[in-house]
Amino acid sequence: MDQGTRMGAEAGYRDPQHTPTREELDRLPGPVLLEFGTPWCGICRALAPKLVALLDAHPDVKHVKVEDGPGQPLGRSYKVRLWPNLVFLRDGVVVRQLARPGLDELDEAFRAVQGRPV
């Protein structure tokens, strides 16, 4: 599990065959941003530089970037329907989940996942 989960922004989407399981994610300690999307999604691509900047500003938040699609079990376990879909976890528990978020929502979610006042 630790191979692709690192501090800062993950460069590309993980192939669905190489994604962590829900159980592995539930066991991750600390703040984690689980990002669902696809490389061809225009909204995902537009959001990417903003996420990179936020992840750089919050280096303690681990980033797991997962390519999603119909029938993919990990995305369905989080009820993902729109991309990009961002799931903020702290110690494996969902703190916030955002679909196609704005910057204010993202700022609040990053503070919330780190246990800071929102």
Boundaries of every domain in the chain:
24-113
Nearest to 80 by CA among 90, 93, 71: 71
pLDDT at residue 64 greater than cutoff 60? yes
pLDDT at position 117, please?
Answer: 76
Confidence of residue 19 (pLDDT cuts 50, 70, 90): confident
Confidence of residue 23 (pLDDT cuts 50, 70, 90): very high
Query: Beta strand pairing status for 31-37 and 62-67?
Result: parallel
Cα(4)–Cα(66) distance, integer angstroms? 11
Three-class DSSP category at 96: strand
DSSP lists the bridge partners of residue 37 as 67
pLDDT at residue 8 greater than cutoff 60? no
pLDDT at position 28, please?
Answer: 96
pTM: 0.88
Q: What is the mean pLDDT of the chain?
A: 90
pLDDT at position 85, please?
Answer: 98
Nearest to 47 by CA among 37, 59, 57: 37
pLDDT digits (tens, 9 = 90+) for 65-106: 999 988 899 999 999 999 999 999 999 999 999 999 999 999
Pure H helices in the chain: 22-26, 42-57, 73-77, 103-113
pLDDT at residue 108 greater than cutoff 50? yes
CATH of domain 24-113: 3.40.30.10
What percent of the chain is modeled with pLDDT above 70?
92
Length of the chain: 118
Q: DSSP string of 73-92?
A: HHHHHTT--SSSEEEEEETT
